[in-house]
């Protein structure tokens, strides 16, 4: 018997995970001298977090250590359950090296148990939408191997597009050079970013101004949305009015789209900053890298 596990960087709301009947690993972040573990909105004070960041506080994210992972996984193994962990992009964090270390130790203690890790090569609800699909298959009686076979194809259809308002947040995270960040901020350049096939950030295009950036995101959904079986997630980092405008633009051309609005959590918000806006949906294929990878320090 196995259970599906995900992490809070999938950003499915806590109530949605309750509906799906699965647990999650809370990823850590800190600001203002306090450490927190993201609980997917159950008790998160988003106003306090984004207010602090807007006021100049620089938040940080951390990797879990091997002992954290052992504490999380041991109860499943002791109960005789295997684990299928559907994770956010391994390229975006060093935490998975700590997970590997923990799994080596756990294998010695529980040689008959397994923890299979599927890298969604995505982040936020780009990972979350894959968790939802996996749970639905599990409910239909699919084995872990069958779920992974499905996800290996499905992950290539997950489209993630977003824009950030302040390029200096990407600069601090090492995603843009200081020169590019300063120049882009002065010129009001808004790069439209996506997550490439390897799970890294990619710059697709650059637009001038916030309104054009919102329009660009809407156009991605309007032109690329494939079917309506899965939700179109509209995510915002403390910019609900922009999220409402984006939703209206999408609905005007694609009334068949099943839209869901959600707030960007503090872990991802620590890297992208307030006023980040994004769309996540299922297309015929994952976006192709058209320009330079953001983590090449363009």
Tokens of 298: 């363009």
Report the alpha-carbon distance of residue 156 to residue 11 in Å, rounded: 19
- Is 2-155 a domain of CATH 3.90.1150.10? no
Higher-pLDDT residue of 242, 227: 242
**Cα–Cα dist 255/31, whole Å:** 40
pLDDT of 257 over the 80 cut? yes
Map out the domains of the chain as residue ranges. Answer: 2-155, 157-296
What pLDDT is recorded for position 258?
97
Give pLDDT tens digits for 127-141.
999 999 999 999 999
Work out whether the CA dihedral 70, 73, 78, 80 comes out positive or negative. negative
DSSP for 163-223 reads: E-S-HHHHHHTTSS-HHHHHHHHHTTEEEEEEE-TTS-EEEEEEEESHHHHHHHHHHHHHH
Q: Cα–Cα distance between 29 and 42 in angstroms, integer?
A: 16
Q: Which residue has the tokens 């051309």?
A: 253
Residues 44-75 pLDDT 10s:
999 999 999 999 999 999 999 999 999 999 99
Q: Is the pLDDT of residue 180 over 70?
A: no
Classify 292 as helix, strand or coil: coil
CA–CA distance, 65 with 236 (Å, rounded to integer) = 30
Give the tens place of pLDDT for each residue, 24-36. Answer: 999 999 999 999 9
Per-residue pLDDT at 288: 66
DSSP bridge pairs for 5:
23, 85
Architecture of the 157-296 domain: 2-Layer Sandwich (3.30)
What is the pLDDT at residue 208?
A: 87
| Model pLDDT for residues 69-125, shown as the tens digit of each residue | 999 999 999 999 999 999 999 999 999 999 999 999 999 999 999 999 999 999 999
Q: Is the pLDDT of residue 163 over 60?
A: yes
pLDDT of residue 249 exceeding 80: yes
Average pLDDT over residues 148-174: 82
User: What's the whole-number mean pLDDT along residues 164-170?
Assistant: 66
Would you say the pTM of this structure is higher than 0.85?
yes
Flag whether pLDDT at 185 surpasses 50: no
Q: What is the pLDDT of residue 60?
A: 94
Confidence band, pLDDT 50/70/90 cuts, at residue 167? low
Residue with tokens 């910019």: 239
Give me the helices (H) in the chain, please.
14-20, 46-54, 66-78, 95-109, 125-139, 144-154, 167-172, 178-186, 210-224, 240-253, 266-272
Strand partners, 56: none
Q: What is the pLDDT of residue 227?
A: 79
């Amino acid at each position: 018997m196995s259970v599906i596990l995900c992490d809070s960087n999938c950003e499915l709301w806590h109530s949605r995970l309750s509906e799906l009947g699965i647990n999650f690993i809370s990823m850590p972040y800190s600001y203002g001298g306090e450490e927190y573990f993201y609980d997917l909105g159950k008790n998160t004070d988003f106003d306090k977090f984004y207010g602090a960041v807007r006021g100049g506080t620089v938040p940080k994210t951390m990797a879990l250590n091997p002992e954290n992972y052992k504490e999380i996984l041991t109860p499943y193994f002791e109960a005789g359950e295997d684990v299928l962990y559907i994770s956010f992009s391994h390229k975006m964090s060093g935490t998975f090296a700590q997970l590997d270390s923990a799994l080596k130790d756990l294998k010695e203690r529980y040689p008959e148990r397994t923890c299979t890790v599927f890298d969604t090569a995505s982040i936020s609800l780009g990972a979350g939408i894959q968790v939802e699909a996996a749970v639905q298959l599990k409910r239909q009686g699919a084995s872990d191997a069958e779920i992974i076979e499905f996800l290996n194809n499905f992950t290539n259809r997950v489209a993630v597009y977003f824009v950030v308002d302040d390029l200096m947040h990407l600069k601090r995270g090492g995603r843009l050079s200081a020169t590019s960040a300063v120049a882009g901020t002065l010129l009001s350049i808004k790069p439209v970013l996506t997550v490439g096939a390897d799970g890294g950030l990619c710059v697709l295009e650059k637009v001038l101004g916030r309104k054009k950036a919102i329009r660009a995101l809407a156009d991605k959904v309007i032109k690329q949305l494939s079917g309506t079986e899965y939700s179109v997630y509209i995510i915002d980092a403390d910019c609900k009015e922009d999220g409402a405008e984006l939703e209206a633009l999408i609905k005007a051309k694609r009334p068949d789209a099943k839209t869901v609005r959600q707030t960007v959590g503090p872990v991802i918000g620590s890297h992208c900053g307030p006023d980040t806006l994004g769309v996540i949906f299922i297309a015929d294929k994952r976006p192709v890298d058209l320009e330079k990878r953001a983590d090449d320090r363009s």
